[in-house]
Structure 1
Amino acid sequence: MRIITGKARGLKLTVPKNMDVRPTADRVKESLFNIIGTKIIGAQVLDMFAGTGNLGLESWSRGAASITFIDESRESLRLVQSNIVKCRAEADVKVIKGSAVSVIESLYRAGSRFEFAFCDPPYNKGWVQKVLAKLAEFPVISEGGYLIIEHSRHDEMGVLAPCFELVRQETYGETLLSFIRFAKT
C-alpha cells in the first residue's frame, strides 16, 4: 500500500500484520481520487474508520488542508500515527479515538465541518446505515460536500435522508464506492 501521487508520492505505508484491517486497494483508491480530482485541494477531510490512514493521507498528499482521523481500535490508531509520521503530516492532522458514530455528534457540536468525509467501515456490519443516520442528524459535511462510502455490494444503504443525494456509484469486484452529496433541506 502506497501513496499514489502528490507530495508524499510513492511512500509505502505501514500495513497491519493481520486481517483485522482491510485497507482500500490501490486500484480502488486511484479510481476514487480520479473521480474527486482537484476538488480535494484545500479541503477539510474526515476519515472515519481510518484503519491505516490510507484515504486521509492520500487526500493530504494531494493537497487537502487538514485531515481528521477517527478509529476506535488501538492497533489502527497506532498504524495511523506511524503513517502520519512517515508522511511528515503531523501539523495538518487530528486523530480521535472512538466510534465514528459517537464522534460525529462531538465534531458537530464543536463546529467542525468537512468538504469530504470517507467512510470505510467493516463490511456487512450495519455501520453504513448508522453513519448515514448520524450524519443526517448531525451534519458535519459542508453544504455541497461529499460523503464517500466504501462498502460491500451486499451492504445496503437503505433509503437516504432528504439531505443526501447519491450522485455516483462504482463497482470494483465485491467493493462498491458510493458518492453522496450533502445539501441542507
Structure 2
Amino acid sequence: MADVETPVPDFAVAVADRQQTESKLRDSDSAKTDFEDEVHRLRGGAAKRRRIHELKSDFEQLSTRASDTITSQGVACDRMQEQVDHLQEELQKASKQLKCITSQRDHAVAEKKQIASARTQNARLEQRLNQMEALHASIKQLQQEKSALQTDLSASRGTSDYLAGQMDRLTTENAGLKTERGQARD
C-alpha cells in the first residue's frame, strides 16, 4: 500500500508542475505579444522621427533658398536703384545740356547767314546735340530695362511668397507629426 500511495503525490506534483509550466507559457506568450507591440510602436516612433527630421531638413533648405533668393534680389534691386538714380541725374544734366545746346544751335542758325565762323560752331553744336539725343535715347532705353527688371523683381517676390507658403505648410505638417507623436506616446 505504501507503494500505491507514492505515485498519487507524484502525479499531483506533475499536474501542478504542468499547470505552472502552462501558466508560464501563457505569461511568456503575453509578454512576447506585449514585446512585439512595443517593438512595433518603437519602430513607428522611429519612422515618425525620421520623417520629422526629413521635414525639418527640407524646411531648412527651403528657408535657406528663400532667404538667399530674397537677399540676392534685394541686392540686385539696390544696385538697380543706384543705377536708376545715377541715370536720372545724368538725364537731368543731359536735359539741361540739351536745352542749352538747342538754344545755342538755334542762335547759331540765325547768325549762320551773317557770320562764316558761325557755320563751324553750328556743326559742333549739331554734333553735341546728336550725342545728347543719343544719350537721351540710351537713358530712355535704360528706364525701360529698369521697368522690366522691376517686373522681374515682382515675379521673384511672388516666388518668395510661394516659398513662404511652402514653409508654412511644412511647419503645419511638422506640428501635426509632433501631435501624432505625442498622441502615440500617450
Query: Which TM class, normalised by the smaller chain length?
Result: under 0.3
Larger-Rg structure: 2
Structure-2-length-normalised TM-score: 0.16
Higher relative contact order (CA 8 A, sep 6+): 2
More helix by share: 2
Structure-1-length-normalised TM-score: 0.16
